[in-house]
């Protein structure tokens, strides 16, 4: 730990389950669709209580994922704006925030499944999708997608989310850490096996949907937040971890199935993502970045290391430069006295451990915020390939808390 921030660290290991999606995978509505890297509703409840946030204020989540913060805020009667650059995220978040009729959802399901056969099929799909699904199943998926697209909201979003959630189980692929890989042994399931149970589960959840209109989403870049100065009362979020995970690859099937027309569009989205993976590019002009001295020393150490991919060097620097842009925007849009919470994870490349929590704390302080606490939620082991070469070394997963200076 850096001496400047050592006294601000506080172990809160009772939060270790809450900085993972473990709880959300079992909680009604939250479980409709989850990204692999997210946190749980009770973490939001905990922070709302800690910050003494009352109904009537507005919270921002600039990396809203699949809506945990906006949904939990609604349960507490707090307004929340969810923002994300990835269309999958804003779509799912919007769907979770809508109000539905249980009876109408049941009636609609009887009419849309099995779907009618239309005049298109396997060859009409994006070539990448043709590789990812058995011929017959992809044809059925395309027909069902078209049927759902003819519906009106909110039911259109409801059934589209159900369809998005079961795509991987029908496909010939699986998530494997930071990558999407083709299955070698596991046999994919069929649409008939998985879609009805998914819809039934979601219909069963409808009585648990929190009511209200205090929440909406914006598709936008967190480095350029389209909100007015001093318009937000607080921020609760988790930016992408500095772990090389490329969400446009991990969720390529979902993106190409419903949001992106072809691989070229997917690449353009990949280039625009926050620089937490090696393929993202510097597409946003970031001004005024004054890197912490510790970061510059760690970068020198990283440059002197043997790395399997030298692009990691530019990625790491770019990540902190981008986060400077994010924190600068957060300072601009937050009211004086606002509280900001970032869930972040430290990372290691070669022999160099990057204390992301401390570095972001300092970058935030340089942008007019004041670090209040760094809560250590859990300790994680380094990756297996790291352990094999450099031995076991734990890294922190923390919640950095700032106050916007008055």
Task: Give the pLDDT band (50/70/90) at residue 175.
Answer: confident
Average pLDDT over residues 227-255: 96
Sorted by where each begins, the domain ranges of the chain are: 6-99+212-245+259-404, 102-208
Q: Print burial letters for 118-137: b (CB count within 10 Å at least 16), e (below 16).
A: eeeebeebbeebeebbeeeb
Our measurement of the distance from residue 201's CA atom to the centroid of its chain's CA atoms, rounded to an integer in Å, reads: 23
pLDDT at res. 406 = 82
Do 339 and 46 meet the contact criterion of CB atoms below 8 Å apart? no
Query: What is the mean pLDDT of the segment spanning 185-192?
Result: 90
3-class SS of residue 153: coil
Q: What are phi and psi of 307, to 5 degrees?
A: -120, 140
DSSP 22: T
Averaged pLDDT for residues 376-384: 78
What's the pLDDT score for residue 392?
54
Report the alpha-carbon distance of residue 142 to residue 257 in Å, rounded: 9
d(CA 14, CA 319): 29
Instruction: For residue range 327-362, list pLDDT tens digits in order.
Output: 999 999 999 999 999 999 999 999 999 999 999 999
What whole-number distance in Å separates Cα of residue 270 and Cα of residue 357?
25
Please provide the average confidence, as pLDDT, over all residues in the chain: 93
Q: Of the ranges 54-58, 118-122, 189-193, which one carries the lowest mean pLDDT score?
A: 118-122
* CATH-assigned architecture of domain 6-99+212-245+259-404: 3-Layer(aba) Sandwich (3.40)
Residue 386 pLDDT > 80: no
Q: Quickly list H helices, 150-251.
A: 155-170, 191-205, 247-250
Nearest CA to 199 out of 113, 137, 93, 141 is that of 113
Torsion of CA 244, 247, 251, 252, to 10 degrees: -90
pLDDT at 390: 46
* CA-to-CA separations, 93 to 158, 206, 311, 332, 355, in angstroms, rounded: 11, 15, 33, 25, 31
For the beta sheet containing 394-404, the strands, ordered from the edge strand earlier in sequence to the opposite edge, are 9-11, 369-381, 394-404, 334-345, 232-237, 58-61, 79-84, 216-219
Average pLDDT of the segment spanning 158-177: 93
Helix axes 293-303, 356-365, angle to 10 degrees: 140
**Per-residue pLDDT for 264 more than 60?**
yes
């Amino acid at each position: 730990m850096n001496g400047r921030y050592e006294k601000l660290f506080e172990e809160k290991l009772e939060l270790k389950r809450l900085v993972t999606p473990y709880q959300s995978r079992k909680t009604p509505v939250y479980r409709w669709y989850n990204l692999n890297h997210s946190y749980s509703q009770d973490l939001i409840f905990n922070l709302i209580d800690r910050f003494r946030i009352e109904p009537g204020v507005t919270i921002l989540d600039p990396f809203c994922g699949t809506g945990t913060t906006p949904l939990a805020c609604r349960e507490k009667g707090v307004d929340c704006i969810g923002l994300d650059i990835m269309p999958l995220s804003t779509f799912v978040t919007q769907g979770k925030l809508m109000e539905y009729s249980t009876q109408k959802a049941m009636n609609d399901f009887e009419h849309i499944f099995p779907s009618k056969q239309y005049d298109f099929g396997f060859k009409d799909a994006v070539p990448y999708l043709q590789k990812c699904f058995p011929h017959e199943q992809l044809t059925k998926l395309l027909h069902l997608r078209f049927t759902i697209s003819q519906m009106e909201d909110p039911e259109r979003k409801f059934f589209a989310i159900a369809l998005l959630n079961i795509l991987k189980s029908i496909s010939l692929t699986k998530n494997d850490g930071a990558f999407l890989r083709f299955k070698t042994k596991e046999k994919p399931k069929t649409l008939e096996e998985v879609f009805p149970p998914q819809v039934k589960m979601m219909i069963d959840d409808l009585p648990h949907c929190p009511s209200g209109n205090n929440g909406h989403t914006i598709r936008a870049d967190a480095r350029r937040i389209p909100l007015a100065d001093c318009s937000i009362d607080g921020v609760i979020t988790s930016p992408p971890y500095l772990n090389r995970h490329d969400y446009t690859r991990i969720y390529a099937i979902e993106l190409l199935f419903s949001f992106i027309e072809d691989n070229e569009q997917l690449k353009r989205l990949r280039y625009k993502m926050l620089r937490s993976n090696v393929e993202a590019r510097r597409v946003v002009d970031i001004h005024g970045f004054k890197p912490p001295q510790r970061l510059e020393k760690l970068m020198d150490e990283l440059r002197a290391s043997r790395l399997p991919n030298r692009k990691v060097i530019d990625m790491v620097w770019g990540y902190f430069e981008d986060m400077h842009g994010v924190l600068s925007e957060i300072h601009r849009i937050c009211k004086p006295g606002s509280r900001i919470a970032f869930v972040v994870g430290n990372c290691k490349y070669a022999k160099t451990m990057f204390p992301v929590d401390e570095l972001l704390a300092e970058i935030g302080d340089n942008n007019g915020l004041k670090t209040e606490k760094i809560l250590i939620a859990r300790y994680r082991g380094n990756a297996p390939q790291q352990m094999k070469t450099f031995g076991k070394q734990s890294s922190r997963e923390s919640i950095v808390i700032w106050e916007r200076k008055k």
